[in-house]
Amino acid sequence: MITTSRPRLLRTLTGVAVAALLTLAGLAVTTPAHAADDSKPIKVAMFNDIDTFNPFTAVLLQSTGINRYQYEALVGYGRNSEPDAGVADKWETSEDGITWTFHIPKDRKWSDGKAITADDVVYTYTSIMKTSALQAANGGLVTNIADVKATDPQTVVMTLKSAQAPNPGQEIPIVPKHVWERQDAAKFAADKDVVGSGPFTITSYKTGQSVQLKANPNFWRGEPKVSGVTYVAYKNSDAAVQGLKSGEVDIADGLTPAQYDSLKGAKNIARHAGIGRRYQALAINPGAIDIDGKPMGDGNPALKDPKLRKAIFMAVDKKTLLDRVLQGLGDLGQTEVPKSYENFFGFADGYQEVPFDLDGANKLLDEAGYKKGSNGIREDKDGKPLKFRLMGRNTEPAHAQMADFLTSWFKEIGIGLDVSMVTPDKVNEDSTLGKYDLYFTGWSLGPDPDNQLAMNTCASRPNADGSGNTSENNWCSPEFDAAFKAQHAELDEGKRQELVKKAFSILYDAYVSDPIWYIKPLEAYRSDHFTGFGLQPEKGGVILNQNGYWGLYGAKPAGSDSASDDDGGLPGWVIPVGAIVVIAAAGGAIVASRRRSTAQDRE
C-alpha cells in the first residue's frame, strides 16, 4: 500500500520544492544592486595580474597602476599629463641641466600622519641606486643620477651625470623611510595597511581575488569623496560586463568593441571611449642587426629596399581598418606618439604621411624593378616571388581581421602574404630575434616620449641571442640617434617638442613601422552609483589606466536619489541556501518514507 503512495508523496514534495524555489527566486529577482553611498568603496573590475605592491619591484601594469594611487612621485602628472605637483610642489633646473632642486612643502603628510621630508626622497632614490635588487621597476630611471641629497628637510638636490629633458623626479614612487627602513625592502610585500602619500592606500589584499584601498585623510589635495576603492579580480571581460550589469562592480575598462556595443542603452550604465595612449602599427623587418652590427634573424632580404617598404605603407588603408575592425573606436595613426599627447603628436615640418594608394604603390614597385609573374605575384631582384610572412598575436582578434584586409590589398600590388597568428610570447621572442618579415606591434606610451625614442636607437639593439637591450625593430640610424640625443638634452619645452616630432618622423620615413591607429580604451560605469570621474587628458581622456590618479580621485557617489532603489530585498545567497534547505527536507522525507516501506518488505 505504501509503495503505491510513494509516487504521490514524491510528486507532492517535488511540487513543494519547486514552489519554494520559485518563490525564493521571485524574491531575489526583485533584489536590486545596492546603490552607492558614502560608506561604500567604488568597485573596479580588475583583469590583470598583480606581481607585488612593492614599488621597487612591481612591474606589472595592474600593480603599478594601483601603486599610483598610493605613492606620489616627487613630480606627478597633471590632468593633461603635464608635470604637476607631487611630493614636491616646485622644482628648478640649473642652466647646464645638471642640477635639479625640488622643494617639498611643509603640509605634505604620510597617511599615518607623519611629515613627508627630503629624507624620504633621498632614502628612496639611494636605495634604488645602491641596491640591484631594488632596481627591478625603476632602475633604468636612475642611471643618469650621480647624487641625491637633502640640503634641509624641505629640499632635495639631484645631480645628474649629463643633462636630460625628462624630469628625474617623475615616475619613481617615494616611500616612507620610517616604514621601509625597518623592512627588507626587496622582499617587503607592502600589501596590507600601507603607509602612503596618494589619495588611497591598501588595507588588504586577497591573492587572486581582490584588493581593498581606503581613502587617505592626509592626502594633500584633500581626502577623496569616496571611502575607498575595491579591485575585484575577473579573469575575463565578458564576466565583468555581466558584473557591471548586476551591480557587482561599478566600473570596468578594457572592453572589446562588441562588449561596448552590447552595453548601449543598458539601464544605469554609462559608456566612455577615451583618447588612448597606445599605438598599433605594422612593423617591417628592414634587415635586423644586433648590437655589434651583424645581421640577425631571417627577415626577407628584399625588405631591405626602402622603396618596397614604402609601397607596403601605401597598401595599408588605415581608415578602412579603423572603421571596419575597430568600428571607428580609435584615431588614425601618424607617428608612434598617440593623440593623447598633443604636444608631441604629429609629423615635423617637411615630413608627411604616406597616403593609401594602390595604383601609386604598383607604379612605385614597377619603377623599382619588381616585375609581376604569371600568377600576379611580383618577383624580387633574384627572381623569387615577393611573399612575406605576417605575424600577429592570437590573443588579439583585431590582428587576424587586419591580416585579412592586408592580404587582399597586398594581392592587388602583387605581394603575397603568409599569415600566422601566434602566442604573444612567440611574437615577443621572434620579433626580438628578427625572425619575421612583417608583424603587428604596438606599445603604450608614457607622457614623456624619451623611452619610446630610446628603444629605437642603435644602442638599444639586442645581443645576437636576443638578450640585452630591447629594440623595437633592431634598426639603427645615425640620423635618428642624432635627433634622439638632441631632444634628450633640450630643456626648452617648445624646442624639445619639435625635436621629438622630428625624431619620430625620421623613424616613420624609414618605413619600418607604420602606425595604423590609436585605439580608444573602452570603459563603462554605473552612472547610478558614481559620477565625477576625472579624465586624463581632461578633454575626452580615460578614467582608469591613467598616468595619474585623477580618475578615481574625482569619483563621488551619484546621489541619494538612487539609494531609494534599495528596497531591502533578500540577499543573493538566499536562492542556493533555500534550495539546499528545501532539497534536504524533501530528501529527508523520501528517506523516511523508504525506511517505512523497506521495514515492511524486508527479505
Q: Please give the residues from 438 up to 477 whose contact with another protein meets the rule CB under 8 A.
A: 443-444, 451, 454, 466-470
- Angle among Cα 252, 253, 258 to the nearest 5 degrees reads 100
Cross-strand bridge partners of residue 100: 93, 158
The kind and range of the H/E element at 513 are strand 513-519
The per-type count for the chain, helices as H runs and strands as E runs, is: 16, 21
Candidate list 60, 150, 157, 589; residue touching another protein; CB under 8 A: 60
Contacting another protein within 282-341 (CB under 8 A)? none
CB of 262 to another protein, least distance (A): 10
| Binding flag, residue 242, another protein (CB under 8 A) | yes
| Binding flag, residue 230, another protein (CB under 8 A) | yes
DSSP annotation of 459? G
Candidate list 243, 297, 299, 521; residue touching another protein; CB under 8 A: 243
| Binding flag, residue 598, another protein (CB under 8 A) | yes
* Closer residue to another protein (CB): 206 or 495: 206
Contacts 24+ apart (CB under 8 A), 55-58: 55/137, 55/173, 55/175, 55/190, 56/127, 56/128, 56/134, 56/135, 56/136, 56/137, 56/138, 56/175, 56/185, 56/186, 57/133, 57/134, 57/136, 57/137, 57/186, 58/137
Contact 445, 341 (CB under 8 A): yes
| Binding flag, residue 31, another protein (CB under 8 A) | yes
* Closer residue to another protein (CB): 120 or 248: 248
Candidate list 124, 135, 164, 456; residue touching another protein; CB under 8 A: 135
Cβ neighbours of residue 30 closer than 8 Å, sequence gap 6 or more? 567, 569
x/- track of binding to another protein for residues 389-428 (CB under 8 A):
----------------------------------xxxx-x
Pairing of strands 416-422, 210-215: unpaired
Sign of the CA dihedral 177, 553, 74, 485?
positive
| Binding flag, residue 567, another protein (CB under 8 A) | no
| Binding flag, residue 576, another protein (CB under 8 A) | yes
CB of 443 to another protein, least distance (A): 6
- Distance in angstroms (rounded) separating the CA atoms of residues 305 and 318: 22
* Closer residue to another protein (CB): 408 or 423: 423
* Closer residue to another protein (CB): 208 or 383: 208
Contacting another protein within 141-180 (CB under 8 A)? 141, 143
For residue 274, which of 553, 529, 536 has the smallest C-alpha distance?
A: 536
- The residue to which cell 544592486 is assigned: 33
CB of 98 to another protein, least distance (A): 20
DSSP annotation of 239? H
| Binding flag, residue 572, another protein (CB under 8 A) | yes
| Binding flag, residue 241, another protein (CB under 8 A) | yes
Sign of the CA dihedral 420, 426, 427, 432?
negative
* Closer residue to another protein (CB): 95 or 425: 425
In this chain, which stretch among 68-76, 96-104, 136-144, 504-512 interacts with another protein, using CB under 8 A? 136-144
* Closer residue to another protein (CB): 155 or 212: 212
| Binding flag, residue 98, another protein (CB under 8 A) | no
End-to-end Cα distance, the chain: 17
Please tell me the count of residues contacting another protein according to CB under 8 A. Answer: 72
In this chain, which stretch among 50-58, 377-385, 475-483, 508-516 interacts with another protein, using CB under 8 A? 50-58
